[in-house]
Amino acid sequence: MKLAARNIVALVVPLAVVACAQLQGLDSYENVDCVGDDCVDAGNQPDTSTGNFDTGARDTGPACPACTNGQVCDPKTAKCVECLPGTKECAAGSFCDPDDTVGYKCVLGCGVADDCIKAGFGQDGGADGGDAGKAGDAGDAGAAGTIACCNNRCVDTSIDGKHCGMCGNSCGASGACCDSTCLDIVSTPTSCGGCGIVCSNNNITTPACGAKTCTGTCDDGWADCNMNKQSDGCETDIDTNPAKCGGCNKVCSSSHISTPVCTSGKCTGACDGTFRDCNGNKQVDGCEIDISNDKLNCGGCDNVCSNANIAPSCTGGVCDGLCNGGYKDCNNNKLVDGCEKHISGMGADVDNCGDCGVVCSTNHIATPTCNGACNGACDTGFGDCDNNKTVAGNGCETNVFTDANNCGTCGTKCSTNHVPAVCSNVGGVGKCSGACDSGWGDCNTNKQSDGCETDTTRDSSNCGTCAKVCAAGSRKCDASNCVAGSKYGVTTSPATFIDACAQAGMTRYFATAGSYPLLDDEVSPLRTVFGSGSFNFFGTTQTQYSIALNGEIAFGATAASTSNYGGNATERTGACPLPDTSTAGTMPLIWALGEDLMTRAGSGVCAVTLGAMPNRQEVITWKDAQYWNNGPTGDHLTFSVILTETANTIDIVYQTLDSAAGGTTPAQVGSSYVGVQQGGPTTTPVGEIATQYQCDESRATSGTKVRFFQ
């Protein structure tokens, strides 16, 4: 069948030229032939009666349906289409374009550049996406100069990256078309990311472009803080700006910095008061440390107060704190070494013992030690008698083999009682060793405490020499020889002083208050010995006694009279030695300190019985008496007589025999009787009625102790 003649026109192309030839050139119409201006199936004859392709014996294709709505039949696909090249054209500004789904349809586009100009085309934004190489796609530059039809698309070749300056001239992935010229917009700083986009050189010596973004290194001291190097480059001063110091968003801290400052990109500024920037970061926390009280930065950064033997603290910028027990800061530097010296306790420092600078002496100390005080054993023969083993105290300064005031041990003073004070090395021990005065012996072998305490010329237990006891029948020692005489011997007493006035149950006599002179020449009522017992005196049993204020005790059922006293030389009727031949001598007497005595208010004479049978003691104490008529501030005389049951010993212990001035024995003591006697000259046997310790001689002093024994 013959295809009806149709005018297939491409916009401004003459119909006679393009009708059959254009249709024949299409890929989908390769089997179309031209017979004159008619298009026929290459295997059929045209059928002019139907206007369709011949469906006779040569037609092997599908039948074309009747088309409506202005559509035409595409003989190749037998589909009704919107347009068909060479048969039905599209409106101005469009062209007939094949579509894989619906077949030919009108789309915006062109055939030649004039199509674009006539359609009022300005710019479609670039790539057309059409098929390259189709017949008639390439167009000529239009009247606008840069408008062209490329691949059936209207393009502006001055800006189109796929058709820059001419159709088909692509600028590639890294290019852009700028004024019909391809430029690199990926890495070119004058067209970075697009035409005319010039990277700023503000504080950028060498602007640069990378990945279509302005880059380039900021000049020293500047930064791109708004992230826009294209418009204003490196716009921010980070060299001197405290709000952006050394970098964007780096704000200098104002913590203890009144005026933050940025210098060469670093936060500076003066710290306030005692605050310091110890971590070297004034940007983050300013001056974060108060060095006046921070023990880790005391007085300066990194000045860490030592914790050696101390709980450290910082006060006023100086390391402080209380030292641990036994330690002290001797170099005045608690920053470096705390309390560095061990001044007390085991193994303390011998050069700082007890305190700083106290050095233990090595004077006669082989190995000084310290436990808070200087110690260390003294060398043999030496002692630390001033109790100071420091250098200042001179260590073990005393030779205890030769020093009579420190003999054998410190403070052991050799007595001068009838012996010179001498200390000697006796078998490796310092001992008091002076030779006794003639007629005296060290019978208790203790020259240290009482020297040569025994009068060997009259001591019945040490007659002529120590331990020589006068036997019965010759108990009296006279001129160092035992002779017939008194039944009582006399020796140094081992007793200790007992104050009857301080004992419970005592009786006080002669203590009536009054003005001076107080009581004188008084005698007590009779007392029973030991409360209910007896005392053997010169072989006679005595059950009662009375006390005379004048230093006497009289045995018997009759109280002593006021005249029973030895008195002084002018008052005493008898003569030394005992027995006394006066009226007083007619009674059994103990002369404790026979003289004219008187008492003070509140003192008097006290008597008391102590202990239990058969070892009771009768104690009589004259308490702070004085010699008659020596004035209200006179002598001070305190002494006790102690009678011991069963042993029948008489001990007289003189605690104090001091003058009013003190420290010396009153002169009257030398004229006082001290002794015992049974009776007067008529008493038998004659020669055994008295034993004398002193009479008109000074023997008794403070501390003297005398024992009379049978």
Low-confidence ranges of the chain (pLDDT < 50): 1-30, 34-60, 123-143, 515-516, 562-573
Contact 669, 644 (CB under 8 A): no
Residue pLDDT, tens place only, 425-460: 999 999 999 999 999 999 999 999 889 988 888 777
Q: State the pLDDT at residue 661.
A: 72
Other CB atoms within a 10 A radius of the CB of residue 302 amount to 9
Q: Provide the Cα torsion 507, 510, 513, 518; round to 10°.
A: -170
Provide CB contacts within 8 A for 623, sequence distance 6+: 499, 501, 599, 603, 604, 605, 606, 638
Taking the model in full, what pTM does it have? Answer: 0.44
Strand pairing category for 540-542 and 289-290: unpaired
DSSP for residue 24:
H
Q: How many CA atoms lie within 13 A of 108 on its CB side?
A: 11
Residue pLDDT, tens place only, 357-414: 999 999 999 999 999 999 999 999 999 999 999 998 899 999 999 999 999 999 999 9
Q: State the pLDDT at residue 572.
A: 42
Residue pLDDT, tens place only, 611-620: 999 899 999 9
- Sketch the domain layout of the chain as residue ranges: 15-108, 456-484, 500-709
Three-state SS letters, 82-145: CCECCCECCCCCEEEECCCCCCCEEEECCCCHHHHHHCCCCCCCCCCCCCCCCCCCCCCCCCCC
Residue 274 to residues 289, 294, 301, Cα–Cα distance (Å): 8, 10, 11
Burial 498-512 (b: 16+ CB within 10 A, else e): bebbeeeebbbbbbe
Q: State the pLDDT at residue 57.
A: 36
Q: State the pLDDT at residue 566.
A: 41
CA distance 669 to 635: 11
Element (H, E) at 20: helix 15-24
